[in-house]
Amino acid sequence: MKPDTPHLLRLQFLVRVVNRECRHLRMTDGRLFADSFTLAAVAGLEETPELAERVEAFVSRLGRLQDTLGDKLLPALLIALEEKPSSVIDNLNRAERLGWLESTETWVEIRKLRNQMVHEYIENPVLLWEALQTGHGYVPVLVATATRMIGEISRRGWE
C-alpha cells in the first residue's frame, strides 16, 4: 500500500482507536473486578451510582471494542490485503483462518453476551452478574484479537 493513501490513513487511524479502546477496556475491567464484585453489589446498583457507572462503562467499552474490531478494522485490513470484505460472519471466518481471531463462534457468543448485558440490566441482577463475569473472561480474547490484527498491520509496515 502506498504511503498517505486514504485507505492507509484510515487503517492507521483505526489502529490508534483500537489501541485506545483496549486501554480503556482493560482499565475499566480492572477497576470493576479489582474488589469482590458480588451479586449483592449488582443487585444494589441503583443505590451505588459510582459502581453503576463502572458497569455501564464496562458494557459499553466491551461492545465498542468488539464493534470497532469486527465492523471497522477487520474489513479495512482485508481491503489492505486486496481481499473483498463480505458479510460480517464471512469476514470473521476469514479472520479465524488467518489466525487473527481465536474463534468465530466465540466472537458471536461475545456479541450475544453484550446484548444480554444491555437488555437484562434492569430486570434480572442474577443474569447481569453472570453476564458481567463472563464478559470479564472475554476481555483477554478481544485484546488478543486486537493485538494479532495490529501485529499483522505492523508486520506489513502499515503502522
Q: What percent of the chain has pLDDT over 90?
A: 81
What rounded mean pLDDT belongs to the chain?
92
**15-66 tens-digit pLDDT:** 999 999 999 999 999 999 987 789 999 999 889 999 999 999 999 999 999 9
96-118 average pLDDT score: 92
Q: Is-above-0.85 flag for pTM?
A: yes
The pLDDT value given to residue 72: 97
* pLDDT, position 5: 87
Select from 16, 23, 20, 112 the least CA-distant residue to 63: 112
Q: Enumerate the domain spans of the chain.
A: 6-155
pLDDT at 103 over 90: yes
DSSP 42-106: HHTGGG-HHHHHHHHHHHHHHHHHHHIIIIIIHHHHHHHTT-----HHHHHHHHHHTTSSS-HHH
